[in-house]
Structure 1
Amino acid sequence: MTLQNTRQLPLKLRASHKSDVRTQFAALCYRLNNGKPEILLITSRGSKRWIVPKGWPMHGVTPGEAALQEAWEEAGVQGKAIERCLGLYSYPKDLEDGTTLPCVAMVYPVRVKALAHDYPEAGQRRRKWFSPKKAAAKVSEPELGQILRTFDPGLLRP
């Protein structure tokens, strides 16, 4: 494999061992507004940058259900998850002890029916609706940006 091919890999991970990489499940929260998709982004608690809700796998819970649970806790989303991974993105997760952990987030669509005013992380984050193109421009991770930019809810139908 040439260096040029290495640069084209979709994930950028810095880990000493492949077992160091952790998986999270992320929610691409969306709604239709006049027939056009809008994507809900939230701010991270620390740096306040725009992100999608995400969290660790949960025992006995499907990846889509875990993504929906994170969307509820972090953004007050009430809706329905679809068990179809839209793609993955990598990012460095900052831990409380000052270290970073390489993570891969698998993205699952969540159709938003309502947003609650009272939810576990209310007051800790901002949330805002964006067009797919604007949402893609707001996030830091290139792979996530590509997933958001090309999101088409019409392709989710069986």
Structure 2
Amino acid sequence: MSTWYQKIWQEVARPVFRRPPRVQFAAICTRDTPNGPEVLLITSRDTGRWVIPKGWPINGKDGAETAQQEAWEEAGVQPDHLDRTSIGHFSYDKVMDDGSSIPVHANVYRIRVKGLAENYPEAGQRDRRWFPPQQAAELVREPELSALLQQL
């Protein structure tokens, strides 16, 4: 009987209670240096952990354009080149203001960076720093994002 209850939970009850993932768009921002490529990480506003710029869909913009907009707002990224094709995705649970969490599927786009602005919408709310891809992969929490960073 125990197996029957487990099957009912997994196939019927659990999907009823679990919300489908929401979609976000994210940017892996890179630059070339004499020592090899570097990745820009920023801190989250709430926990201070290292993340990449990401956000909810923006009306009138596709995924790549949304990722570019988020990179500007959150990190002051001035793009040199935006890859219009997603390089991958990662999943995570976003904690909302009320303490609940929702599953999120983030599509990732690569942006080659020309420069970083000093004045941008979230200046002073986050730290930003360049890292070699391997080190960036070790600093982020999401395993799928870490794997994308290791491939750079």
Q: What's the TM-score once normalised by structure 2's chain length?
A: 0.86
Partner in structure 2 of residue 98 of structure 1: 99
Provide closer, same or farther for how the CA distance between residues 86 and 139 of structure 1 changes in structure 2, counting only shifts above 3 A.
Answer: same
Identity across matched positions, percent: 51
Displacement after TM superposition at 1:20 (Å): 2.7
Which residue of structure 1 lines up, in the alignment, with residue 74 of structure 2? 74
C-alpha separation in 2, matches of 1:127 and 1:145: 18
Cα RMSD (Å) of the superposition?
1.6
- Report what 1:40 is aligned to: 40
Residue type at the aligned position of 2:111: V
Structure with higher Rg: it is 2
AA matched with 1:33: T
How far apart are the structure 2 equivalents of 1:93 and 1:58? 18
Aligned amino acid, residue 127 of structure 1:
R
Letter in 2 for 1:43: T
Residue 71 to residue 102, structure 1, CA distance change in 2 (3 Å): same
Which runs of structure 2 are paired with 1:132-151 in the superposition (5 Å)? 132-151=133-152
Distance 1:19 1:113, change over 3 A: same
Q: When the two structures are superposed, what TM-score results if normalisation uses the length of structure 1?
A: 0.83
Determine helix, strand or coil for the equivalent of 1:25: strand
1:34 Cα deviation after fit? 1.5
Where 2:112 maps in the other structure, the secondary structure is strand
Aligned length: 138
- Cα distance change on mapping 1:30 and 1:16 into 2, 3 Å: farther
The CA distance in 1 between the partners of 2:35 and 2:78, in whole Å, is 20
8 Å Cα contact 1:43-1:127 kept in structure 2: yes
Where do 5+ consecutive residues of structure 2 fail to align?
1-13
- Match for 2:87: what amino acid? L
User: C-alpha deviations, 1:83-124, integer Å up to 9, x for none?
Assistant: 111111111111111111110111100111110001100111
1:35 Cα shift?
6.4
Separation in structure 1 between the aligned mates of residue 28 and residue 127 of structure 2, nearest angstrom: 16
Q: Hey, what's the Cα distance between the residues in 2 that align with 1:86 and 1:135? A: 17
